[in-house]
């Protein structure tokens, strides 16, 4: 007669690993998107003199517009990253709490089994 698995560890704890892996994959994808956006942003060059032509002014407007768009996209990605980080933190906290709970349950089962064995030995000697 052994200890049933469900008395030692909950099914939720087994499911936590794959869920955490999925969350980390999402986190990684968000980081890749942020990295890509960061590389794609081109800052305007400062090599021209202060008295540039109108073509340079138009280029500056286009560059500023593109910077604004890229910044907005980056902001969206950062918000997504924050959301994923919060999900990961919540999952990890829940997993840790469940782990501690399961360790305590296992200790109680072991203690109970030890007590039963001791009582059985005591009864056998009598």
Predicted confidence (pLDDT) at residue 75 exceeds the cutoff of 60: yes
The alpha-helical segments, DSSP class H, found in the chain are 5-8, 11-40, 54-125
46 falls in which pLDDT band (50, 70, 90)?
Answer: low
Per-residue pLDDT of 4-20, as tens digits, reads: 666 666 777 767 778 88
Confirm if 82 and 27 have CB atoms less than 8 A apart: no
Average pLDDT, the chain: 78
Please state the rounded mean pLDDT for residues 33-47: 70
Spans of all domains in the chain: 10-125
Q: Tell me, what's the pLDDT at 53? A: 47
> What is the distance between the alpha carbons of residues 93 and 86, in angstroms, rounded to a whole number?
10
Per-residue pLDDT of 84-122, as tens digits, reads: 888 888 888 888 888 888 888 889 889 988 888 888 878
When mean pLDDT is compared across 28-37, 47-56, 57-66, 88-97, the lowest value belongs to: 47-56
> What is the distance between the alpha carbons of residues 10 and 98, in angstroms, rounded to a whole number?
8
The pTM score is 0.41
């Amino acid at each position: 007669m052994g200890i049933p698995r469900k008395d030692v560890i909950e099914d939720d704890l087994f499911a936590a690993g794959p869920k955490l892996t999925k969350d980390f994959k999402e986190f990684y994808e968000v980081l890749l998107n942020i990295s890509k956006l960061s590389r794609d942003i081109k800052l305007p060059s400062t090599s021209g003199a202060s008295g540039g032509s109108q073509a340079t002014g138009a280029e500056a407007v286009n560059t500023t517009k593109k910077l604004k768009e890229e910044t907005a996209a980056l902001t969206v990605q950062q918000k997504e990253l924050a959301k994923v980080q919060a999900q990961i933190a919540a999952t990890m906290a829940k997993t840790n709490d469940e782990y501690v709970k399961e360790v305590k349950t296992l200790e109680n089962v072991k203690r109970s089994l030890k007590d039963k064995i001791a009582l059985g030995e005591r009864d056998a000697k009598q």
